[in-house]
C-alpha cells in the first residue's frame, strides 16, 4: 500500500519501485512501465563531477544497444532526461548466468548447457555481424529473463571494430576471460577475443566453477598454458610479434578430456576450437553455432524449461526443486555481492525475483575483487592437480588495479590515433 | 561499404528530401525561408570544420558532428536550439561517440579563439545542458556511417587511387549539404568519384556499369553537388548574417 503511495511517476510513464542496486555510474531502480505494463529496470546515470556531461561508458552503451536489437541482447527500451540526469530503461531481468552456475541446487544437464551456450553465441553473433566487439563477456553479464532467455548485457566496454588498422587497449575483459593475445598486449584484435571468453563461459558451465582463475596477467597465462600447453610458433606464428611477448618454459598440454571428463566428444571438439591459440584460426561465432555440437543429441533445452535459481524468500511455489529449502546449501559468492543493495521485498508480486545484477556495474569490471572472492572457493569436482604444479607465484601485476586501468582507458580517449 | 549499413539505424533513418527541407514553425514565424535554413546549417557546418582542428579530432568526428546537427534540425527549431551552441555541442557529443573524447573546457576555450562575435561564446554548463537535449532530439541514435571508407575502397577497385585527394575534398564538401541525411554513404562516395572522373577526364563508365548500382541516383546526387558549387559562389557574409538576424527577432 504505502509503496504505491510512495512510488513516483517518472517521465509521465514509469512508476518507480524499489532500488535494485548501485553501480559506478548510477543507481538502478525497478519500475513499472505504465504504457506497456512491463516491469523494467531504470538506470539513473549520474552526471560526473568533472563536468564531462553524459557518462562516456553510458554513452557507449546507448550508442551500441540502439543498433543491436535481438532476442539475445538486452533491450534498451527507452532513455530520457529527468531532473538533469539521464535515465536508461532496460527490460527487467530476473537473474544472471553466474547465479545459475553458482547455485549448487541446480543441476545443469548437457542439454541445458548447450542451450545456455547457444543463446550466448547467438547474441554474440549479432554483435559481430554488426562489427561490435563486446569485450566484457562473463557469466555475470549474461542476464536471464523471466522466460529463461539469456541476453548479453553491459556494453560499457564494447566497441565497433570497423577498420582493421585501429588500435585498441588490450585491457578489456575480467582477467579470467581474457584471451592470450590480450594478455600478451595485442592492440589490434578482433572478434576472436569474445570467442575465447565465450569458451571460458562454456568451460565454466561444464565445470561449475571459473575455468582459468589467474591471480595476475602472468599467472593467467600460466593457467592457460597449464591447460592447453605452451603455444608453439607453428600453432601461433604471430605470437613472437606481440608487444608483451616473453618466452615461457615449455609445458605440454594435458588431454582436454582429462580436464572435462564429463563432456561429450562434440563438446570437447567445439571447446578446443574456441580455445585455439592463434586468433586467426580460432573458430568464429558463426562457425561455432554451426558446429555439430548444437545439432547432435541431446538438443538444446527449450529456454523456458531451463533451470534457474529459486527466489530466496518466496519459495511458496518453488520452480526448480524442493531441495532448495531455506536452510539449503550456502551459495558461495564473491564478497562484492554482499555490498549490493537488495530489493525490499515487502508486498508487491513483481519483486519475487531478486535481480541484483544491475547493481554491480564497474565494481567488478576488470577489478581485482573478483579474484579474491572466487579463486579459493570452488570445491573442485575434478582433478586440477596439474594447476597446482605450476611454478611458485610470481609478483602480482598491478594492471589488475581498476583505477589504474580506468586512467589508461581514459588516456586512450584523449589520444585517438 | 561495410556490410552492416543496411541493418543500421542510420539506414532506417534516411529521409526524403522533402522531409529535410522543412523549416520548423517557430522559425517560419520569424521569416526564415528554406534558403535561410540551408544557409545557416551550411555556415555552422563550416564552423565545425574550423573548430575541429583546434581540438585535434579526426575528420570522421567532424562528419559525425555535422550529421548530428543536421538531424537535430529535422526535428527542432533553430529558435529553440541555437545553432551557435548546437554546433560545438554536436562536436563534443560526436567526439565521445567516436571514441576520441574532447574535454568540454577545451572546446569552450578554442571556440573563444576562433574570431567570431560574442554570440558564439558559451560556458561548459551550456554545452552540457545542450548535450542532453541533443541526445533526446537524436532519439539516442548515435551511429553514423560516412562515405570515406567506401570511397577509398572504390577508388582502389577502379584503379583511380590518385584521385583520392580530389574526391576526399568533394566528400568533405558534401557535409555542407544535407546529403548524408538522404542517401546511403556509399552512393555519395560514388557520386564524388563520378564528378571527379568527369572533371579529370577518366573513363570509368565500364567500372560504374559493373557496380550494379542505380546510376540515376548517383547522377542525381552528382548534379546536386554541382548545383551546390554553383550556388555557393552567390553566398555572401551578408546573406548569412541576414539569416541570423531574422533568427534573433522576437516572435
The pLDDT of residue B12 is above 50: yes
What does DSSP say about strands A95-96 and A142-144: parallel, antiparallel, or unpaired?
antiparallel
Yes or no, beta carbons of B101 and A414 under 8 Å apart: yes
CA of A326 vs chain B CAs: smallest distance (Å): 45
* Residues B142-172 pLDDT 10s: 999 999 999 999 999 999 999 999 999 999 9
- A149-203 pLDDT per residue, tens: 999 999 988 888 866 557 888 888 889 999 999 999 999 999 999 999 999 999 9
Q: Which of A154, A179, A147, A193 is nearest to A305 (CA)?
A: A147
Q: Does B124 touch chain A (CB under 8 A)?
A: yes
Residue A399 has pLDDT above 80, yes or no: no
CATH numbers and ranges of domains, chain B: 14-143+238-248 (1.10.472.10), 147-232 (1.10.472.10)
**Before A56, cis peptide (omega within 30)?**
no
Residue with more model confidence, A268 or B109? A268
CB atoms within 10 A of CB B79: 18
The pLDDT, as a whole number, for residue A379 is 37
Is it the case that residue A205 has pLDDT exceeding 80? yes
- The more confidently predicted of residues B94 and A21 is B94
Residue A73 DSSP label:
B
The rounded mean pLDDT for chain A is 77
Distance of CA A335 to the CA centre of its chain: 17
Cβ of B68 under 8 Å from any chain A Cβ? Answer: no
Q: Name the residue among A79, A84, A129 with its Cβ closest to that of B4.
A: A129
Q: What is the pLDDT of residue B184?
A: 96
Chain B interface includes A48 (CB < 8 A): no
pLDDT class of A125 with cuts at 50, 70, 90: very high
- For the CA atoms of B11, B13, B16, B17, what is the dihedral angle to 10 degrees? -100
**pLDDT (0 to 100) of residue B251:** 60
**Amino acid A246: pLDDT:** 87
Which pLDDT belongs to residue A20?
A: 87
> What's residue A165's pLDDT?
58
pLDDT of residue B194: 94
Contact B140 A79 (CB under 8 A): yes
Mean pLDDT score, B63-75: 97
- Domains of chain A and any CATH numbers: 2-93+333-374 (3.30.200.20), 95-304+392-414 (1.10.510.10)
Among candidates A59, A129, A130 on the partner chain, residue whose Cβ is nearest the Cβ of B96: A59
pLDDT at A164 (0 to 100): 54
Helix (H) or strand (E) holding A16: strand A14-23
Would the pLDDT of B23 be above 60?
yes
At A90, is the pLDDT very low, low, confident or very high (cuts 50, 70, 90)?
very high
Chain A contact set for B9 (CB, 8 A): 66-67
Q: State the binding site of A for ATP.
A: 20-28, 43, 49
Residue B141 has pLDDT above 70, yes or no: yes
* B184-200 confidence digits (pLDDT tens): 999 999 999 999 999 88
Q: Which residue of B has its CA nearest to A86?
A: B132
The confidence score (pLDDT) of residue A95 equals: 92
Q: Note the pTM of the prediction, 2 decimals.
A: 0.79
DSSP A138-156: -GGGEEE-TTS-EEE---T
All residues of chain A having their beta carbon less than 8 Å from the beta carbon of residue B2 are 131, 162
C-alpha B118: how far from its chain's center? 24
pLDDT of residue A48: 61
Res. A396: pLDDT tops 90 = no
- Minimal CA separation from B8 to chain A, in Å: 6
Amino acid at each position: 500500500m504505502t509503496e504505491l503511495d510512495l512510488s513516483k511517476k517518472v517521465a509521465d510513464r514509469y512508476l518507480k519501485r524499489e532500488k535494485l542496486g548501485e553501480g559506478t555510474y548510477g543507481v538502478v531502480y525497478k519500475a513499472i512501465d505504465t504504457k506497456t505494463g512491463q516491469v523494467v529496470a531504470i538506470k539513473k546515470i549520474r552526471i560526473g563531477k568533472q563536468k564531462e556531461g553524459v557518462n562516456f561508458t553510458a554513452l557507449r552503451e546507448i550508442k551500441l544497444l540502439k543498433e543491436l536489437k535481438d532476442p539475445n541482447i538486452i533491450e534498451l527500451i527507452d532513455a530520457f532526461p529527468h531532473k538533469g540526469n539521464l535515465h536508461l530503461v532496460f527490460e527487467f531481468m530476473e537473474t544472471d548466468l553466474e547465479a545459475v552456475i553458482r547455485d549448487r541446487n541446480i543441476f545443469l544437464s548437457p542439454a541445458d548447457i548447450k542451450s545456455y551456450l547457444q543463446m550466448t553465441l547467438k547474441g554474440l553473433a549479432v554483435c559481430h555481424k554488426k562489427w561490435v566487439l563486446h569485450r566484457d563477456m562473463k557469466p555475470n553479464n549474461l542476464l536471464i529473463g523471466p522466460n529463461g532467455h539469456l541476453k548479453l548485457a553491459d556494453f560499457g566496454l564494447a566497441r565497433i571494430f570497423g577498420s582493421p588498422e585501429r588500435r585498441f587497449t588490450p585491457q578489456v575483459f575480467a582477467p579470467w576471460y581474457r584471451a592470450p593475445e590480450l594478455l600478451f598486449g595485442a592492440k589490434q584484435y578482433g572478434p576472436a577475443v569474445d570467442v575465447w571468453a565465450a569458451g571460458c563461459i562454456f568451460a565454466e558451465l561444464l565445470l561449475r566453477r571459473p575455468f582459468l582463475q589467474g591471480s595476475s596477467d602472468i599467472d593467467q597465462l600460466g593457467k592457460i598454458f597449464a591447460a592447453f600447453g605452451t603455444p608453439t610458433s607453428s600453432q601461433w606464428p604471430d605470437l613472437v610479434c606481440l608487444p608483451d611477448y616473453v618466452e615461457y618454459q615449455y609445458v605440454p598440454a594435458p588431454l582436454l578430456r582429462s580436464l572435462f571428463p564429463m563432456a561429450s566428444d562434440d563438446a570437447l571438439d567445439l571447446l578446443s576450437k574456441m580455445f585455439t591459440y592463434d586468433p586467426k584460426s580460432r573458430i568464429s561465432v558463426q562457425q561455432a553455432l554451426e558446429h555439430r555440437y548444437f545439432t547432435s543429441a541431446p538438443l538444446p533445452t527449450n529456454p523456458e524449461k531451463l533451470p534457474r535459481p529459486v527466489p530466496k524468500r518466496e519459495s511458496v511455489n518453488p520452480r526448480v526443486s524442493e531441495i532448495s529449502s531455506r536452510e539449503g546449501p550456502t551459495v558461495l559468492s564473491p564478497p562484492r555481492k554482499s555490498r549490493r543493495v537488495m530489493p525490499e521485498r515487502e508486498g508487491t508480486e513483481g519483486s519475487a525475483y531478486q535481480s541484483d545484477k544491475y547493481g554491480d556495474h564497474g565494481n567488478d569490471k576488470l577489478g581485482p575483487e573478483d579474484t579474491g572472492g572466487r579463486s579459493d572457493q570452488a570445491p573442485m569436482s575434478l582433478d586440477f592437480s596439474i594447476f597446482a604444479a605450476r611454478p611458485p607465484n610470481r609478483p602480482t601485476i598491478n594492471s589488475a588495479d581498476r583505477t589504474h586501468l580506468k586512467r589508461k582507458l581514459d588516456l586512450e580517449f584523449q589520444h585517438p590515433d | 561499404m561495410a556490410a552492416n549499413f543496411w541493418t543500421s539505424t542510420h539506414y532506417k533513418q534516411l529521409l526524403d528530401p522533402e522531409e529535410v527541407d522543412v523549416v520548423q514553425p517557430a522559425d517560419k514565424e520569424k521569416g526564415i525561408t528554406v534558403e535561410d535554413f540551408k544557409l545557416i546549417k551550411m555556415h555552422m557546418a563550416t564552423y565545425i570544420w574550423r573548430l575541429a582542428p583546434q581540438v585535434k579530432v579526426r575528420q570522421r568526428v567532424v562528419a559525425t558532428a555535422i550529421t548530428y546537427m543536421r538531424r537535430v534540425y529535422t526535428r527542432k527549431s533553430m529558435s529553440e536550439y541555437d545553432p551557435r551552441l548546437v554546433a560545438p555541442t554536436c562536436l563534443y557529443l560526436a567526439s565521445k561517440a567516436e571514441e576520441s573524447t574532447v574535454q568540454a573546457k577545451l572546446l569552450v576555450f578554442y571556440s573563444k579563439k576562433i574570431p567570431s562575435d560574442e554570440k558564439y561564446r558559451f560556458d561548459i554548463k551550456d554545452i552540457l545542458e545542450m548535450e542532453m537535449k541533443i541526445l533526446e532530439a537524436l532519439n539516442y541514435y548515435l551511429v553514423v556511417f560516412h562515405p570515406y571508407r567506401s570511397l577509398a575502397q572504390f577508388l582502389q577497385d577502379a584503379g583511380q587511387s590518385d584521385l583520392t585527394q580530389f574526391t576526399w575534398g568533394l566528400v568533405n564538401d558534401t557535409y555542407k549539404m544535407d546529403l548524408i541525411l538522404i542517401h546511403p554513404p556509399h552512393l555519395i562516395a560514388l557520386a564524388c568519384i563520378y564528378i571527379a572522373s568527369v572533371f579529370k577526364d577518366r573513363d570509368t563508365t565500364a567500372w560504374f556499369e559493373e557496380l550494379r548500382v542505380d546510376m540515376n541516383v548517383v547522377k542525381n546526387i552528382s548534379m546536386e553537388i554541382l548545383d551546390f558549387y554553383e550556388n555557393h559562389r552567390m553566398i555572401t557574409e551578408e546573406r548569412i548574417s541576414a539569416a541570423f538576424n531574422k533568427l534573433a527577432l522576437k516572435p
